[in-house]
Amino acid sequence: MGVFSKSQMKIVTGDAGYVLEDVPHLSDYIPDLLTYSNPLQDYPAYSVVRQYFVDADDTVAQKIVVHKSSPRGTHFRRAGPRQKVCFESDEVHACIVTCGGLCPGLNTVIREIVCGLYHMYGVNKILGIEGGYMGFYARNTIPLTPRVVNDIHKRGGTILGTSRGGHDTSKIVDSIQDRGINQVYIIGGDGTQKGASVIYEEIKRRGLKVAVAGIPKTIDNDIPVIDKSFGFDTAVEEAQRAINAAHVEAESIENGIGVVKLMGRYSGFIAMYATLASRDVDCCLIPESPFYLEGKGGLFEFMEKRLKENGHMVIVIAEGAGQELLSESMHSMDQQDASGNKLLQDVGLWISHRIKDHFTKQSKMVINLKYIDPTYMIRAIPSNASDNVYCTLLAQSAVHGAMAGYTGFTVGLVNGRHTYIPFQHITERQNKVVITDRMWARLLSSTNQPSFLSPKDIIEDKREEGPTPTQLLDGENCMDDKPASKEICSTR
């Protein structure tokens, strides 16, 4: 096997095209790092489990559908407890911070990091950093114990508070150093993980024995590589309530139209999965699929047809859909939030006005439209059962990784296995719905809505997307070699 560093990544190559995109380890820059037996060895609950410890050579393939002649491809280090750890229990001083927007499951992850450190590794110095990254230097801290976090998974939001903006790397690392913190658990989305990456780089530059572990959070599911993000299932489930309400309202009145806006700034996964789950949706509009309103093949034509057939209809629209149409008809504000994310205009309100306008002025149909915006209600709820389990495993993976001395990594489920992924791999692009792949086609055949694309557009779209999909599974569009394209792989 060859080991080399390519643009700061630890790449290990092996036979038959095997590539391990490895995560950094404290021993990479700290010479003579001491190791200790994992205390779990003496813990009856774990020591009876055969092969509880992960073999140091275990890795997980990014692509699991291959041809006879395919190279073995990219792998990630398998997550889990190691025989040896790099911290003694009473040496650990951990901290946890949550950044970016809310997402169901944040409190569960916090709880399980605290309980994992405490119960599995006997760690009792754990600090909660209040109010996101800026909390490192501008806010108070909260001591976290299993008792403090006992019930928090039943609440939405984050007990630590969160924020956007305010990432000052040297002030953050100064604070870590001054407080004697040696394990940093960072929960947040793409921006947060970029922030975690620069914190790790600065810690390494200063030669500190501090492990940095990221736990990816995004309700939009816009983080690549991982099967899906925590809180996503909960969001899809909660969206059903809004869609159901829209449907009840719409079908109770002649030519009733329900419009539901769901989150999804650049990626329409929540809208796509909520639509597929519901069966009451007639048309789903997402940022990745451009649409138009007027003329042949446009939304209004489809709406008139559907209303004539069924007497009512439901439209689900992701918040980032049709932004180019909005900026054509409204003054683009070009405002940003504190983290530099573009502030979007309310597409749900806009499309509702446009629909009303069209039917009043250009069509003889009298319609009755109800607009429902449940976005923050969906984001603010506690996680459901399956997300709670998922959050627990992510938190425990992060704890095992940091205790073993891995650093500069994010935890993630890849093809159903928990892994450690280098920050760069998940921050370099965004996960988006690929509209030329099967999952979107399934949605189109479920709603029977127009694709708003001409055959010529589809050919061009495919050409732009470059290489053919590397995953060939049914429902698969994880195109690793092209930018911004990977579908949730939970449908496998």
Ligand X SMILES: Nc1ncnc2c1ncn2[C@@H]1O[C@H](COP(=O)(O)OP(=O)(O)OP(=O)(O)O)[C@@H](O)[C@H]1O
Ligand Y SMILES: O=P(O)(O)OC[C@H]1O[C@](O)(CO)[C@@H](O)[C@@H]1O
What residue numbers does the annotated binding site for Mg(2+) cover? 190
With CB under 5 to 8 Å by kind, the binding choice for 166 among ligand Y, ligand X, Mg ion, none is: ligand X
Catalytic status, residue 461 = no
With CB under 5 to 8 Å by kind, the binding choice for 167 among ligand Y, ligand X, Mg ion, none is: ligand X
Q: For strand 312-318 and strand 2-6, is the pairing parallel, antiparallel, or unpaired?
A: unpaired
Residue 191 engages Mg ion in binding (rule: CB under 5 A): yes
Residue 272 engages ligand Y in binding (rule: CB under 6 A): no
Catalytic hit among 22, 220, 233, 282: 220
219-232 burial string, b = 16+ CB within 10 Å, else e?
Answer: bbbbbbbbbbbbbb
Closest CA to 89 of 118, 116, 112: 118
Binding mask 333-362 for ligand Y (x = CB under 6 A): ----x-------------------------
Q: Which stretch binds Mg ion (CB under 5 A): 189-197, 208-216, 235-243, 353-361?
A: 189-197
User: Which one, 102 or 113, has the nearer CB to ligand X?
Assistant: 102
Considering only 265, 354, 370, 400, the residue that binds ligand Y (CB under 6 A) is 265
Residues 83-112 that bind ligand Y (CB under 6 A): 100-101
Annotated binding site for substrate: 218-220, 263-265, 319, 376-379
Shortest Å distance, C-beta 109 to Mg ion: 17
Shortest Å distance, C-beta 218 to ligand X: 4
Residue 264 engages Mg ion in binding (rule: CB under 5 A): no
Residue 286 engages ligand Y in binding (rule: CB under 6 A): no
Shortest Å distance, C-beta 102 to ligand Y: 7
With CB under 5 to 8 Å by kind, the binding choice for 263 among Mg ion, ligand Y, ligand X, none is: ligand Y
Shortest Å distance, C-beta 187 to ligand Y: 12
Write the secondary structure of the chain as one string of H (helix), E (strand) and C (coil). CEEEEECCEEEEECHHHEEEEECCEHHHCCCCCCCEECHHHHCHHHHCCCCCCCCCCCEEECCCCCCCCCCCEEEEEECCCCCEECCCHHHCCEEEEECCCCCCCHHHHHHHHHHHHHHHHCCCCEEEECCCCCHHHHCCEEECCHHHHCCHHHCCCCCCCCCCCCCCHHHHHHHHHHHCCCEEEEEECHHHHHHHHHHHHHHHHCCCCCEEEEEEECCCCCCCCCCCCECHHHHHHHHHHHHHHHHHHHHCCCCEEEEEEECCCCCCHHHHHHHHHHCCCCEEECCCCCCCCCCCCCHHHHHHHHHHHHCEEEEEEECCCCHHHHHHHCCCCCCECCCCCECCCCHHHHHHHHHHHHHHHCCCCCCEEEEECCHHHHHCCCCCHHHHHHHHHHHHHHHHHHHCCECCEEEEEECCEEEEEEHHHHHCCCCCCCCCCHHHHHHHHHHCCCCCCCHHHHHHHHHHCCCCCCCCCCCCCCCCCCCCCCCCCCCC
Closest CA to 187 of 298, 110, 276, 261: 110
Shortest Å distance, C-beta 192 to ligand X: 3
Contact 102, 68 (CB under 8 A): no
Annotated binding site for ATP: 101, 164-165, 189-192
User: Which one, 182 or 339, has the nearer CB to Mg ion?
Assistant: 339
Annotated binding site: 101, 164-165, 189-192, 218-220, 263-265, 319, 376-379
Q: Which stretch binds ligand Y (CB under 6 A): 261-269, 280-288, 302-310, 455-463?
A: 261-269
User: Which one, 287 or 408, has the nearer CB to ligand Y?
Assistant: 287
Considering only 96, 152, 219, 303, the residue that binds ligand Y (CB under 6 A) is 219
Shortest Å distance, C-beta 27 to ligand X: 26
Could you count the other beta carbons within 10 Å of the beta carbon of residue 438? 16
With CB under 5 to 8 Å by kind, the binding choice for 319 among Mg ion, ligand X, ligand Y, none is: ligand Y
Shortest Å distance, C-beta 347 to ligand X: 18
Considering only 21, 130, 190, 487, the residue that binds Mg ion (CB under 5 A) is 190
Shortest Å distance, C-beta 337 to Mg ion: 10
Q: Which residues bind ligand X (CB under 6 A)?
A: 99-101, 132-133, 163-167, 188-192, 194-195, 198, 218, 339, 341
# of chain residues touching ligand Y (CB under 6 A): 11
User: Which one, 59 or 163, has the nearer CB to ligand Y?
Assistant: 163
User: Which one, 345 or 397, has the nearer CB to ligand Y?
Assistant: 345
With CB under 5 to 8 Å by kind, the binding choice for 198 among ligand X, Mg ion, ligand Y, none is: ligand X
Cβ neighbors of 418 (< 8 A, separation 6 or more) are 78, 79, 80, 393, 394, 397, 411, 412
Catalytic positions, please?
220
Binding site for ligand Y (CB under 6 A): 100-101, 189, 219-220, 263-265, 319, 337, 379
